[in-house]
Chain A
Amino acid sequence: MKLLVCVSKAPDTTSRISFTDEGRSFDESGVQFIINPYDEWYALVRAIELVEANGGSVTTITVGDASCDPIIRKALAIGATDAVRVDTTPKDSTQVARLIADYSKNEGFDIILCGKETIDHNSSAVPAMIAECLDLPYVALATSLEVSGSESTIVTEVSGGTNNVTVSGAFVLSAAKGMSEQRIPNMRGIMSARTKPLKVVEATDVTQTTEVTEFKLPPAKGDCVLVDADNAEELVRLLREEAKII
């Protein structure tokens, strides 16, 4: 089987978030970048597991500039076969999805896997958009994926529960928690990643459709009102009369 995993660069989950350029850009100074956790822990690891069991290849694709190369090498160290980087600084999810779709339309991938969202923009848009660009079925928020021949059985999170669904042929999937366990790259993986192919391709002509005009930090929270541990009634009174929430 021939699998494509979309891998995005994201700020580490412990990063302090701040902005420069009058609130128009994310301040990257001092920020540690990682593979977006949903892309790594769930989409990439499950793709590698499937190829280990059934044979085939796992290609990763990243839309970004050369600053993405370290996280792409890490994906290769975890076990991807090869990598593609579309060389541009993307402006919105439409652009990312169209660029990935343009690259993959003639490559004959069996499954295109993405994380359910990135932890910076939280859009959950790219996988559905790739599916639309390529006119493929899309299965969102998958927590399990089993492949048998050309048929895939997937468990997905839906409102109020989970669906068990079947798809025949190629499709796009977004992976959520439960899909697989995080893998730490071993020394052999790290060594081999250095020589695995990382192909840099030029971006096709795709324009953005949205623009972030300003980022803002949330207003500082007021002081916490402490209530004595023996006085649960007082907390209930505050929630009812002051917060007017119950």
Chain B
Amino acid sequence: MSVLVYIPTHEGRATKVGLEVASYAATISSDNKVVALVSGDLTEDGGIGSTGVSRVLHFEANISDNSQISKLVSAAAKAEGAQTIVLSGNNEGKAIAPRVAISLNAGYVPGVTSTTGGKSFTRNVFSGKATAIVNVQADISVVTITPNSFGIKVQGDSSAIIESFSTEVGDERVTLNSFTPTSTDGSVPLPEAVRVVSAGRGLKGPENWGIVEDLAKALGATTACSRPVGDMGWRPHHEHVGQTGITIRPDLYIACGISGAIQHLAGVNQSKVIVVINTDPDAPFFKAADYGIVGDVFEVLPKLTEAIKAL
């Protein structure tokens, strides 16, 4: 089965989500017919060969408009006769992939979390409260994978062969004026974070977030918050995880002073390990947790931070 993957790059190297997409593609193509597609700057093979992908199609121009990238992906898919096209389910992939699906008359399955084989894919629905097995009825499948669902699998230190690829992608119609990074401390964006420390109303006010940030820093984690905290302006909206915020699936989710309303759980219950710290032993979050501490976050968090630092 021929698989095409579109791999985002940063400063010439495949991004973390890009390497994850390549690793996933290598696992679904039994006869290893995976071709990677990259646009813009590329240094050697960008690290893509390490995932077992042996060919990289390189489109030289830097393009960011989703209509242009989707034209590029569709053209490469046609040229390669790809039956499955894989993109990351990050913000950019979610804007490009549906366009590719329409353009190729393909079936579209977003946010795949495990593969069932052939043209059948498993994904989360109802904001993580259920999963669905989706069958593609068209000849071609376009899928995105949720970041941190499959991980990066390094196969060795081989390099991929780079082949130049060109096609007509049309004009840029969305003009970028400026980019503002979310974090200035270099922490991983929330949807891609492997560890997340999240806090809620139990923190009593924005001035108390230092203990949350200290723990996150000790763990190399990204900070998040519950909806009331975002709504009250204690923390920026982009940190809000939950049904109407961001859905995440980190390896470790530590919830501090969050009761665990059903809408919050919907955004985080795919996390591999959940730790809950709350003064109320009846907080619903404990039912969804793997580990819990019934206690005051103002006492527990500094101790936990020290214990982590002592490792």
Contacts and interface: CB of A to CB of B under 8 A. Distances in A.
B184 to A, nearest CB: 10
A240 B311 contact: yes
A165 B240 CA distance: 23
Contacts of B266: 13
B208 interface: no
Interface string B81-111: 0000000001110111111011101111111
B182 interface: yes
A218 B273 CA distance: 15
Contact of B107 (A11, A94, A171): A94
A103 to B, nearest CB: 16
A125 B244 contact: no
B300 interface: yes
A239 B137 contact: no
B291 A211 contact: no
Interface residues of B, number: 95
A140 B93 CA distance: 10
A38 B263 CA distance: 14
A183 to B, nearest CB: 15
Contacts of B182: 160-162
Interface in B253-302: 262-263, 266, 269, 272-273, 275-276, 286-296, 299-300
B62 to A, nearest CB: 15
A17 B275 contact: no
A245 B251 contact: yes
B99 to A, nearest CB: 4
A17 B295 CA distance: 32
Contact of A218 (B130, B252, B296, B307): B130
Nearest to B141: A210
A180 B238 CA distance: 15
Given A119-B127, A122-B124, A225-B292, A159 B99 contact: no
B180 interface: yes
A202 interface: no
A246 B311 contact: yes
B40 interface: no
A164 interface: yes
B29 interface: no
A20 interface: no
A92 to B, nearest CB: 8
A104 interface: no
A226 interface: yes
Nearest to A91: B137
Contact of B102 (A119, A121, A132, A210): A132
A140 B111 CA distance: 16
B290 A225 contact: yes
Given A131-B67, A239-B273, A246-B308, A125 B290 contact: no
A47 interface: no
B133 interface: yes
Interface string B170-190: 000111111111110000010
B245 interface: yes
B65 A94 contact: no
Interface string A208-223: 1111111111100110
A235 B125 CA distance: 32
A49 interface: no
Contact of A213 (B120, B273, B276): B120
A202 to B, nearest CB: 22
A97 B97 CA distance: 14
B238 A235 contact: no
A120 B128 CA distance: 9
Given A208-B137, A236-B311, A120 B125 contact: yes
Centre residue among B124, B128, B292 by max chain A CB count within 10 A = B292
A209 B105 CA distance: 8
B303 interface: yes
A122 B127 contact: yes
A129 interface: yes
Nearest to A141: B91
12 contacts: A92-B107, A97-B102, A129-B98, A132-B67, A132-B102, A132-B103, A137-B173, A139-B174, A161-B179, A163-B176, A165-B175, A218-B269
Given A132-B98, A159-B192, 5 more contacts: A139-B174, A158-B179, A163-B177, A165-B176, A236-B311
Interface of A: 11, 13-14, 17, 19, 37-38, 92-94, 97-98, 119-126, 128-129, 131-133, 135, 137-141, 143, 153, 157-168, 171, 177-178, 208-218, 221-222, 224-230, 232-233, 235-236, 238-240, 243, 245-246
The 5 closest A-B pairs by CB, nearest first: A229-B295, A128-B98, A209-B107, A132-B99, A140-B95
Interface of B: 8, 17, 65-67, 70, 90-92, 94-99, 101-103, 105-111, 120, 124-138, 173-183, 189, 191-192, 195, 219, 230, 237-238, 240, 243-245, 247, 251-252, 262-263, 266, 269, 272-273, 275-276, 286-296, 299-300, 303-304, 306-308, 310-311
